[in-house]
Structure 1
């Protein structure tokens, strides 16, 4: 029996002959040849059973003492039978004397004990690009920009009211570098607040890369900013969707700026949005094989904003993305072996981490997610929102109020709106409540579900992608467990 996704090691259970062994309800099975993938959804446990282990499990058709199980399996040594029962107990697939191995309340804590620590500042609604799939939909036109005074008040309030010892500030847009001078002054103020409040702060930014001049790179490097740069692959892929208002491609400018910024010592990470499933491996080969990056983001294109009409979330689209994603995994493993070092593709490594650990560090892949609890975002108008993702149709749902009217440190506990949002849990979403992988994916993105369906208690539009991919990854890990460290699944995935 394969041993992935085991719970934290505990002292061995000394099984007595009279211990009562009973199957856990709701366990689901997937057969391939002589082997069976067994998933216990409540505890996010799984294993691939060989015929001998499966024979033991099948005999537990009703609760019975272990001695009776020995008698039912005369061809098996008692030591083997008891070892299978013990592992099944650790995996949450059987109970012993009516007791499960896991305490679900402790296994899946309800909220962040230190409250929000990821803070997204939407410093401008303006953007100089007009990308085909953007759901900001502001590209190429002027937009409102956050005032320096508002930005300073956000930082001061966060340092004063949030109990977390480390706060992460993410500058977003639109295109945040259109508000570069404001960002610089806010980061300088943040360093002053670190000393005043004896807390640490880190700074992040997601940019289209077109405005990363050498002087700006030096400034960002001095503040140790982690910068994500949108680069969708080689020119023929990137320029298909990421262009200026008149349609001119942007690949040449973005690539040159990205590579120069890396050479200058700036911590840059490429982020690719994959529109066509057949492009996954080409994009990976370009970013890793041609450009030499070892940490990157590859995300399926969302069916929101301008992409709502042209790229709807049809089941076959999700399935095509699954096949492209798994082909990318094989290429990624090839690159990792060739280099002799781990290769981290954030979405993939986070999935691997969820399959091999009970930790759920990535707030977008747990239930409930980080809405209003791990993350807050701030609009150019001073609104406080429960998530960094929103569009006009969803902003009202995620808006918690105006900055000056709220105690940021008490929102997760006192805000009726946050409590309502956090009812989006896998057990409350009809489709998710029946799904075997619900505790691995966490129900997907609340914003995307709401934006597409108009209902918060709905599955992610790419639900089928996650279902197929998590199950296929289980088979893959069972056969070749070395892919987990090779592709970054052993790390503490960052939120």
Structure 2
């Protein structure tokens, strides 16, 4: 066998080859992700992004970007802290300040305090997440003692702005307790120099005219539910009289007249039935005069887990529903009717502004404990509303204490809180730490535990990850259209163009 040795060409190349072969810059931390067949996105540590042709990230990493030949891109990379001409960027203190701003939601600690004022409910929704009881069982109302103890804990929060939210069951079935709690909390808020906001979560069916003066006097916000047109809402949110939709619409009209447009909102829950009617659901919200809609999937807790035929679906099916409904929302905006999708708006605020958002599910460290705490009707304290729902399935993994028995430090800094804290920052979770969308997403130890058996989770099969990655990618893809980006910016400012 004859060995053939190929000689290398020793001929010198032109000087430009050597000048541009490797650029003299330093890489700063960034991540990248393909968003369509032509483009990829680069994202730095504070969420600044550049949408560039596929292959650009590789060229940057191999230092193939030239100040001369790629001048515009080169200086975009410099100004947005993707690369630096110095080992330590001259404006590193600016980057530090911006990172602190992104995480400033941690400065004041817990704001939202949920009081489960009653488990009683006159609805029998098949997707109920809280294992409600019938409306005649008043032993499932929160006692005045537990209300007082919950208020004591709430007033110890270092946050000067706190929210007291009443949930159920159906909260209005225990309206006397709400009246007591509001008056008591306002007295304590004065003593502790707190600014306090009140919210009642209700299906509106038990709303009576004599409740409205108190609600108005104390500027209480109403959060209700609307699953779409009557044929969807009445089937999803069942009452013996099959009139849930009619009572909801009547309640919305009463609240708007008495409290004003800004003090009433509605929330959608997406069931298998809903998946077939994305356009009709958006149309219903527009017909009822809403300027926002929250397209959210069912959470895998409580009674919702017992009826898989109605409540369980693949993430891909929900995403198809979401995109179809979203297209309808964009179309309404293009035609001059301002309506935003709330989940996208939260993500867009993280993408397009330097400020943090208060939405619990998209925070890192997670919003549980840091932003929200739940006091159950029976005095048990949970790390989040979802943690309370899990407890209704007899799993108390996320119970932090008991009112009247546990101190503030036991609840917020105890061993259970520390265990949860090991799994609530996406910067340190495998699959999240290298994800380009990390800055816009969050961590959810409760959902990980409920769906995958542990708080850490496994990203390749994680429904939270699958949903958020595709929605974020979808939003970036849409933003390439300047007219849609303009609509998005109107959503985050709250003003139609």
Q: Which residue of 2 aligns with 1:119?
A: 113
Query: Any residues of structure 2 matched to 1:232-243 within 5 Å, and which?
Result: 232-243=227-238
Q: Which residue of 1 aligns with 2:204?
A: 209
Displacement of 1:134 in angstroms is 1.0
Q: Deviations over 1:34-77 (max 9, x none)?
A: x42223364434322258xx66x65435348x8xx24xx6xx3x
Q: Deviations over 1:406-447 (max 9, x none)?
A: 4437854x323222212222244334344332331213x332
Q: 1:318 to 1:96 in 2, by over 3 A?
A: farther
Q: Which residue of 2 aligns with 1:225?
A: 220
**In structure 2, what is the Cα distance between the partners aligned to 1:21 and 1:306?**
57
Query: Any residues of structure 2 matched to 1:353-432 within 5 Å, and which?
Result: 353-361=349-357, 362-389=359-386, 390=388, 391-392=390-391, 393=393, 396-408=396-408, 411-412=411-412, 414-424=413-423, 425-432=425-432
Query: Any residues of structure 2 matched to 1:125-164 within 5 Å, and which?
Result: 125-140=119-134, 142=137, 144-159=140-155, 161-164=156-159
| TM-score, normalised via structure 1 length | 0.82
Q: Is the 8 A contact 1:158 1:408 kept in 2?
A: no
Q: Is the 8 A contact 2:31 2:434 kept in 1?
A: no
What SS does the aligned partner of 1:442 have?
coil
Q: Deviations over 1:152-171 (max 9, x none)?
A: 23223422x22221211000
Displacement of 1:177 in angstroms is 0.8
Q: Which residue of 2 aligns with 1:12?
A: none
**In structure 1, what is the Cα distance between the partners aligned to 2:309 and 2:363?**
25
Work out which of the residue numbers 465, 475, 483 in structure 1 matches 2:487: 483
Q: Deviations over 1:267-286 (max 9, x none)?
A: 21011112233333221111
Q: Deviations over 1:211-241 (max 9, x none)?
A: 1112212321221111111111111111121
Q: Which residue of 2 aligns with 1:446?
A: 445
Q: Is the 8 A contact 2:401 2:410 kept in 1?
A: no
- Structure 2 gap segments, 5+ residues each: 1-21
Q: Deviations over 1:114-153 (max 9, x none)?
A: 2212100011122111111112122536361111232123
Q: Which residue of 1 aligns with 2:87?
A: 98
Q: Which residue of 1 aligns with 2:73?
A: 84
Deviates more, 1:458-467 or 1:470-479: 458-467
- Structure 1 gap segments, 5+ residues each: 1-17
Deviates more, 1:246-255 or 1:363-372: 246-255
Work out which of the residue numbers 163, 173, 180 in structure 1 matches 2:175: 180
Q: 1:345 to 1:221 in 2, by over 3 A?
A: farther
Q: Is the 8 A contact 2:35 2:476 kept in 1?
A: no
**In structure 1, what is the Cα distance between the partners aligned to 2:48 and 2:277?**
32
Q: Is the 8 A contact 1:368 1:423 kept in 2?
A: no
What SS does the aligned partner of 2:152 have?
helix
**In structure 1, what is the Cα distance between the partners aligned to 2:174 and 2:61?**
65
What SS does the aligned partner of 1:27 have?
strand
Q: What RMSD, in angstroms, separates the aligned Cα atoms of the two structures?
A: 3.1
User: What is the number of equivalent residue pairs in this alignment?
Assistant: 453
**In structure 1, what is the Cα distance between the partners aligned to 2:345 and 2:302?**
27
What SS does the aligned partner of 1:203 have?
strand
Displacement of 1:184 in angstroms is 0.8
Q: Which residue of 1 aligns with 2:18?
A: none
Displacement of 1:176 in angstroms is 0.7
Displacement of 1:187 in angstroms is 0.7
Q: 1:105 to 1:50 in 2, by over 3 A?
A: closer
Q: Is the 8 A contact 1:375 1:386 kept in 2?
A: yes
Work out which of the residue numbers 472, 475, 496 in structure 2 matches 1:473: 475
Displacement of 1:194 in angstroms is 2.8
Q: Deviations over 1:271-319 (max 9, x none)?
A: 111223333322111111x111113433112233333254499997212
Deviates more, 1:464-473 or 1:319-328: 319-328
| TM-score, normalised via structure 2 length | 0.82
Q: 1:129 to 1:135 in 2, by over 3 A?
A: same
Displacement of 1:366 in angstroms is 1.4
Q: 1:483 to 1:394 in 2, by over 3 A?
A: farther
**In structure 1, what is the Cα distance between the partners aligned to 2:435 and 2:280?**
32
Displacement of 1:181 in angstroms is 0.5
What SS does the aligned partner of 1:400 have?
strand
**In structure 2, what is the Cα distance between the partners aligned to 1:314 and 1:225?**
32
Displacement of 1:113 in angstroms is 2.0
Q: Deviations over 1:325-352 (max 9, x none)?
A: 1222222223234446x42332121122
**In structure 1, what is the Cα distance between the partners aligned to 2:131 and 2:446?**
16
Q: 1:420 to 1:197 in 2, by over 3 A?
A: same
